[in-house]
Amino acid sequence: MSNIINGREISKKRLIEIEEKVKYLSDKYGKVPGLAVVYIGNDKASEVYVNTIIKKCTKVHFYSEKHLLSENVSEDEILDLINNLNKNEKINGIIIQFPLPKGIDENKIKFALSYEKDVDCINPINVGMLYSNSKSFLPCTPKGVIELIKSINQDLTGKSAVVVGRSNIVGKPVAELLQQENLTVTLCHSKTKDLKEHLLRADVVVAAAGRANLIKGDMLKENCIVIDVGTNVVDGKLVGDVEFDSAVKKASYITPVPGGVGPMTIAMLLENTLEACLKQCELKL
């Protein structure tokens, strides 16, 4: 049976560290990090996620703002809001919930967001820095994936990794970050032939395809590490892209859904916002 990688416990420790640093900033400089969350429409899953972010901000004593826009909002209204947040000195980090409504040019929105406040790495400047292995904000979910893998304390240099899913938000950046950690990476997707064949060679599997229970235990190499990014609702329950009950018998380490990657994503978002605050205010801890 696998060892469970408990994202809730790992993220809790990171949040305690963040809270301590914020207290130091507040006491010494009278400054606290500020995060603005922008989301559009009435998607319930997005609403839950955004509310969780705001709660965690309160817990670690961040200043936070939540901006809910109608799904009928115009592109100009979104751009005006982003411009105002870019100028707002109380706001150090901005996160925008995607996807955006039809008719909104996502590239315009990404370019409009200040790269200095882009704490989820969507501005093309930060994306370019990520892929050139330069110092930038790492996208929150991929950063959380890497931190969960590092928590195992195994030397994975030269090991084989398979990422299932090629989204710009998770799959591609995860693959890049794994390569930067010196793993040999294969990026698979919905058009990949013989997915099982690729997975059976993988020492590390990151599942980010958005398809419930896509990966079964018999598709995994014995004693591999499995990080499940998937969040799918099946019969009212949240499940991952990996069929947990069969995979847990093959993997040496595995993340659960829920309780794995999700909590780490928010912790990494707050870490990035704290880092942005320090850079913008030219402060040191």
Q: What does DSSP assign to residue 190?
A: T
pLDDT at 154: 95
Q: Is the pLDDT of residue 1 over 80?
A: no
Residue at 99: amino acid letter: P
User: In the chain, what are the helix, strand and coil shares in percent, each to the nearest 5?
Assistant: 40, 15, 40
Distances (CA, A) of 107 to 45, 120, 125: 23, 15, 12
Q: Token pair for residue 132?
A: 């050139």
What is residue 254's predicted lDDT score, i.e. its pLDDT? Answer: 98
Cβ atoms within 10 Å of 27's Cβ, excluding its own: 8
> How many residues are recorded in the chain?
285
Please report which residue ranges of 88-184 form alpha helices under DSSP H: 106-112, 124-131, 140-150, 171-180
For the stretch 199-231, pLDDT in tens is 999 999 999 999 999 999 999 999 999 999 999
Averaged pLDDT for residues 128-132: 96
pLDDT at residue number 162: 98
pLDDT at residue number 45:
79
Inter-helix orientation angle 44-59/7-29, to 10°: 50
pLDDT at residue 42 greater than cutoff 90: no
For tokens 């590490």, name the residue.
225
pLDDT given for residue 135 in this prediction = 84
- 237-239 and 232-234 as β-strands: parallel, antiparallel, unpaired? antiparallel
The rounded distance, in Å, linking the Cα atoms of 40 and 72 is 9
Per cent of the chain over pLDDT 70 is: 100
The pLDDT tens digits for 235-282 are 989 999 999 999 999 999 999 999 999 999 999 999 999 999 999 999
Percentage of the chain lying above the pLDDT 90 cut: 93
What DSSP state is assigned to residue 86? H
Q: How confident is the model at residue 46 (pLDDT cuts 50, 70, 90)?
A: confident
Phi/psi of residue 39, nearest 5 degrees? -140, 150
Q: pLDDT band for position 99 (50/70/90)?
A: confident
